[in-house]
Structure 1
Amino acid sequence: MRLPETAAVLALRHAVRQWAGRYRPGGAAVAVALSGGADSLALTAAARAEYAVVHALVVDHGLQDGSDRVAATAAETAYALGCCSARVLPVRVGGPGGMEAAARTARYTALEAARGDMPVLLGHTLDDQAETVLLGLGRGSGARSIQGMAPYDEPWGRPLLEIRRGTTREFCADLGLTPYEDPHNLSPEFTRVRLRTEVLPLLEDVLGGGAALALARTAGQLREDNAVLDELAVELLGRAGPGAALDCAVLAAGAPAIRRRAVRAWLLDQRVPAVTGAHLRRIDELVVAWRGQGGVAVGGGERGTRLVVVREHGRLALARADRVSRNRRETS
């Protein structure tokens, strides 16, 4: 596909080409998650210029009147840009965590089911990265929560993490494309919208500009640091295990940051669905501040049973909550 050689077009094409060369060398086909907004529209056009085969996946969340028409228009635009296919994926949004979280879950589930063996390119920009870092800082969950989004977290690819949102709009204008303006992107009931429209502009003003760039750069540095810490945690986990129980003496000899990462990796290996910072701090007390305290509930097991991390005979182990309660009754 031949595109005009404007600054915005060249910036996006270079970003997609650089991403492809690093993460998908020789890849013949990609899917692009297309909402019709400026970011995903520009990404679709840039990907079409760099890849021989591009398939567009358009998720219709059904949250607004006329969302089906918006999705159909996005699919038509994808064909006009030269995509090999454009599929509209209707989803039902519902479940715990509020509408933002539920919509995200429904979207990623639909994209995963439709992608086949292709990676899916997402239109997240540097501005989205900065907002993600601020959200992580607000949660206070440690370095992992403020490392932002990875350029490639298989199967999800994000070639535009160094591209500003304004550049994608320039790209669309250069091609004569009219992006869809989602009213939810201006609704103050969503935390991310308030970060975008209130917090980040204030930071830019107070710090004299460059706040979004600095936040995104911090995310990149933390991802590099976290990768090293994760490698050390894997090594510690190998010495403390391997298996369903971990040696507390071996864990206690490790640095706190490495020890907690090792425990987190162990829990994920044991199929514990969600591991929080609060879980890890309390489990760490079982390792280094053992006073005979009870176990730490960490979530659900099979068929809704609750799982608890307990310390038994100097080792951490997972047990069902009913077994822990029964043992207490028998020893009381």
Structure 2
Amino acid sequence: MATGCPKCRFLGSAILQDGSRRCAGCGHIYQDVMSYPQPPAHAGGSSTTPAGGARGAIIVAASVIVLAVSGLVYFMSAGESRSEPPVPDPVVSARTSAAQSGGDYTEAAEPPQASIAPEFMSGYNGSSRWWVMQYRNTGNTPISYPTIDVKYTDVNGKPATYKARSQVYWLPAGESAWIIANISRADTGNVTLSVSDLKAPSKFQARFVRLDARNTRLEDNPSPALKDYPFLVGDVVNNSGRAVSSIRVFGIGYDFNDKPCAFCSGYAKTGNLAKGATAPFKLGTGTWKTRTPSYWKAEVWASVQK
């Protein structure tokens, strides 16, 4: 009989065309292992009595029947499974439930939904063209690895697509995250931005939480040649109630009309942060800028330690 998924021991699965199985619980693909009842040791060959020979024949016949029935059931079930579409992988299904995804949020029946903020930044660094966009989770389901497709024309006049992914790998419902795309051989023609690869997080994926940033300010660059490129400094406060790691800091500069015009990113100086603790950060500015900001804000995300 089938032993179930070797990874999670879940018995439900779909048989693929090559004979392997996809687990309906965790999506793991594995080869089915069948175990059959072993017949008892046959003593008919060494028996000299009619009764012993008869018992051996009965045992052999019963074993053959068991094997035949087991094989028939297996192939019948395989045929039935192949007539149905494969079970969707919980990791990539847009309708993955909260129980399958492993988050501590309530179960959501609707697929992930997202949009791109209409106001984005774009500019050039040498021969590279860049875009900074705000990705918004507009649905009620967390999104795994938020991704934006940047469709453009390269310098040879050929259409191309660049996938820009957020550093916030687990974006909660109702939240937003900044994504940067830096393309070295993009033409100056029209560019199309679109949300892509929408999927819910898997139960094995680390959750991200937003943290507070305090004492955010600009600090002069000590180099006279870089006086127009100050540092954005401040403190990260872990108010999540849990220990966190991989603390990412995003700095956004705004003009007098409160429109984003500059961007920078980096990490806090401490990789792991206990609950209630603080850690400083220091980011260089000036690389991604369309005009001089009148003020800056810092957004902080971190991975929750399991």
Shorter-normalised TM-score: what interval? under 0.3
Q: Which has the higher helix share?
A: 1
Determine which structure has the larger strand proportion and give its number.
2
Q: TM (normalized to structure 2)?
A: 0.22
Q: What TM-score do you get using the length of structure 1 for normalisation?
A: 0.21
